[in-house]
Each structure stands twice: as C-alpha cells, then as structure tokens.
Structure 1
Amino acid sequence: MTDTTYINNALFTAKEQETLALAADILKSKLIVNEQPVLNSPGIVKSFCQQSLAAKDHEVFGALFLDSQHRVRASAELFTGTIDAASIYPRR
C-alpha cells in the first residue's frame, strides 16, 4: 500500500484514510508503464509530482530526467527549504 504519512489522521476517518491510500495506489498504477512512469502530458506530470511530493513537509526544487519516450529515468531533489520557501542559488 502507498505511504500515507501525508494523510492527516485527525481530519479523516480510518475508512477515508483507507480510501485515500487506495486512490493513491490507483493513480500510481495508471502512471506506470513497463515499470517506468510515463509523463506525456502536463496533467500527468502534475499528478506524478503531487503523488511524489505529497508526503514532504518542506519545499523542494527538483528535476525529472526523462528518456525520448517520456519515461522517468531519474528524479533528484536539488534544493530543499522551509514549508514556504526554497532558496536556490545560481552556480557557474
């Protein structure tokens, strides 16, 4: 089952938490093709990022590395920050 640490236990009943976890599993399964997520539209990228970042308690600036078939080959968190900001410094 999906990591549900982002689900607020005080806000949702046990049944609702189970339903949300199941929905997250369904979303993840729809994004995976041949063991790799396929990101071939902006909406799918949004869903993938929401699924990937939902459990974070801080801001993240990251990168997704795709192949020519729009499959995710790697992802990286480049910078992290507080809950409301992530400082990103240019480098040469």
Structure 2
Amino acid sequence: MRLMDIPEQQRPREKLLSQGAQSLSDAELLAIFFRTGIRGVNAIELAQQVLNHSQGLSALLSASHDDFCQLMGMGTAKYTQLQAAIELAKRHLLCDLQRETVFTSVQSVSDYLKLELKGLQREVFLVLFLDSQNRLITQEILFRGTLDAASVYPREVIKAALQYNAASLIFAHNHPSGVAEPSQADKLITNKLIQGLSLVDIRVLDHIIVGGSQSVSFAELGLI
C-alpha cells in the first residue's frame, strides 16, 4: 500500500502534527526519518521490517555501520543521518543537565547516560563532575576496560575531581552483557571511591549502571 492510500489523518507526518510525536509507533517515527520506502514497500512497512530484522529499536540504534547497511533498504547515508539524530538527542539532554540542577531528576540523568553508554562493546567508567549547586561542570570517561571489567583507580578519580574543582560526582558505567544489576565488584569499588573522596570533602551522589536499554541507580537502591 502506498502512503498516499492511507487516510490522511493516519499518515505519520499528519498524525505527528495533530497528535504529537509521542502518539506514533516506533515504525511510524522511523518512517518519517526514512522519508520514502523502496519499490513495493512504503516507508512504514520498510520501517517495520527493519525493526523486525534488527530485533527492535534499541538494537537498531546501537547497530554498527556494517550491520545497519545489511538491513533492507539501508545504507551509509541513512546510517550517518541516524547517528547524527542520536548525537543531537544526546546534546539536547546534556544541555538540560548543564542548565539545571542535575540531581533534581535521576530520570533525566539516566536518560542521558543510556544514550551515551548503551551499545558500547567494552566497559567504560564515566564521571559527571558537578559544582556546589549540583550543576554539571563536565563529564569524562576516565577508564576503559575489557568486555567484562574496567580497572578503576580511586587516585585518578580524586585527581580529576580536584582538577575540575568539583563539589560532587556521579559515576556511571555500562554492562555490555545488557544486565544492569550492580555486581559485588561494582559495590566494592563504589564504596572505595566514596571513602577516598570523602577525605577531600567531595560527595558521591550516585552510581548509575547502564545495561542495554535499562539503568540502575545506586541511590535509588539505597546503596549510597
């Protein structure tokens, strides 16, 4: 079926304008992004087939260039457009964190970190450096590890925190396995970092673990 054969109020663009973007399905949103389908397949049908073949939106957004280009109707042009859209979303969330008091919403921090960290094949340890008003000064990935572990050195975290004159920190790291639950090692290093930073009067507000499309907050679990 051609898009023009669908009732106007049910077409993705018109539906977005009349009902808002949140009313659209994943396939409808992708259809707007794709703009056109391919021979015999309209944009919505193409989007749904791409979602099915990539096993969902999260996997599609995390796909490598090679894997993305193997999907029907996809290529380098659409891959670069999608990566640009993802980066714009990251920067939008980052701007919000820089303007506002970060810790007023764990959800806004988690949303940003999920975009920043999900899909990475190796474990990384990221730190958000905050001022005395809990506003974001900067962020930095301090450690990169193997597929199953990252070596985190408290002295390097303390050194960076003092360099940025941070009053408090939020830690984040990813679990490439897709399981966001904190391990015993995660709990131990977090406690070690809290103890070391307390010696220089710097607070740890949270440690957020990202696994796939999920995130877990140490603060919400009562672990900090």
TM-score class, shorter: 0.5 to 0.7
- 1:79, 1:48 → 2: CA distance? 19
- SS at structure 1 position matched to 2:129: strand
- On the 8 A contact 1:80/1:87 being kept in 2, the answer is yes
Structure index of larger Rg: 2
Query: CA RMSD of the aligned region, Å?
Result: 3.4
User: Structure 2 CA distance, aligned partners of 1:27 and 1:76?
Assistant: 15
Deviation at 1:54, TM superposition (A): 5.0
Report the AA paired with residue 9 of structure 1: H
Find out whether 1:29 has 2:99 as its counterpart. Answer: no
Higher helix share: 2
Superposition deviation, residue 66 in structure 1: 1.2
Match of 2:108 in 1: 44
* Residues 30 and 79 of structure 1: CA distance in aligned 2, closer, same or farther (over 3 Å): closer
Corresponding residue for 1:3? none
> What residue identity is the alignment partner of 1:19?
L
For residues 90 and 16 of structure 1, do their structure 2 counterparts lie closer, same or farther at Cα, with a shift above 3 Å needed?
A: same
**Structure 1 residues 32 and 85: alpha-carbon distance in aligned structure 2, compared to 1, 3 A threshold:** same
Query: Are residues 75 and 31 of structure 1, via their aligned partners in 2, closer, same or farther at CA, if it must alter by over 3 Å?
Result: closer
Listed as ranges, the gaps of 5+ residues in structure 1 are 1-5
SS state of the match for residue 78, structure 1? strand
1:78 maps to amino acid = L
1:80 offset after TM fit, Å? 2.3
- Rounded Cα–Cα distance in structure 2 between residues aligned with 1:49 and 1:37: 17
Query: One-letter code of the match for 1:24?
Result: E
Q: Secondary structure at the match of 1:11?
A: helix
Structure 1 or 2: larger strand share?
1
Relative distance call for 1:30 and 1:77 in structure 2 (3 A) is closer
Alpha-carbon contact 1:28-1:51 (below 8 Å) kept: no
CA distance in 1, matches of 2:90, 2:141: 22
TM-score (norm. length: structure 2)? 0.30
CA contact (8 A) 1:59 1:83 kept: yes
How many Å apart are 1:75 and its aligned residue? Answer: 2.3
1:80 aligns with 2:144: yes
| Counterpart Cα distance in 1 of 2:93 and 2:153 | 36
Secondary structure in 2 matching 1:77: strand
CA shift for structure 1 position 69: 4.2
Gap runs ≥5 in structure 2: 1-61, 69-73, 156-195, 197-224
Partner secondary structure for residue 92 of structure 2: helix
Number of matched pairs: 86
Determine which of 41, 44, 58 is the counterpart of 2:122. Answer: 58
Native 8 Å contact 1:31 1:44 kept in 2: no
2:27 aligned partner: none
TM-score scaled by length of structure 1: 0.58
Q: Give how far 1:71 is off.
A: 2.5
